[in-house]
Structure 1
């Protein structure tokens, strides 16, 4: 977890606007409904939090700095051979990911809200470090 000198968790922003943890779910659901399936949050400390969704599942990535391979949420309870498509990036690219490297959308929203609130993964979330 990254903290400010006073010990408070660094603030997260979206497009330069501060984002409160309790607005994350509504904000992301609205963006996804509008077709904006890729969202990047930034923290004052240089960390990035990305969500790329296909409307049903989402890849959630937490990066410590630009160029960091980061860490991402995983779902060990799905078919390890399953894949989903429809992950539309802001640049128009359409990706597909293994289901094990994504989580159901509701879980993604819970994870992102927790990271925005406290700076770290929820204790019960599953993730892998890609560094």
Structure 2
């Protein structure tokens, strides 16, 4: 069974891999830099951006183990990641990816349920 995904605070309508990037861009344009998607199997996909880089996290369930996209060898840190509660975060650049790559990752995960071949991610533990 292929999972279906919904944007957690947008109601019960599922979002397709073809429409998820447009939905994320629309949310970013309206100032919503944090988006959570929930799958029909209970997995969670987080997307938090500062509009240049994004953190993409895939969790097996609320409070469960997860993994996040990585950009190994990248130095420095970026701020401006504004969470839905208004908190501003700064992340090491090696734990985030350029926003275009983040869109590609989310589109692929929503479409297939897994990271794309060639993507780099780190198991959180």
User: What TM-score results when the alignment is normalised by the length of structure 2?
Assistant: 0.94
Pair member with larger Rg: 1
The counterpart of 2:74, out of the listed 56, 78, 81, is: 78
1:40 aligns with 2:36: yes
Alignment RMSD (CA, Å)? 0.9
Cα displacement (A) at 1:69: 3.9
Cα displacement (A) at 1:59: 0.1
Q: How many residues align?
A: 122
1:130 aligns with 2:124: yes
Moved more, 101-110 or 28-37: 28-37
Point out where structure 1 has 5 or more consecutive residues left out of the alignment: 1-7
User: What TM-score results when the alignment is normalised by the length of structure 1?
Assistant: 0.90
1:92 aligns with 2:65: no
Counterpart for residue 116 of structure 1: 110
Cα displacement (A) at 1:9: 1.1
CA distance in 2, matches of 1:30, 1:58: 15
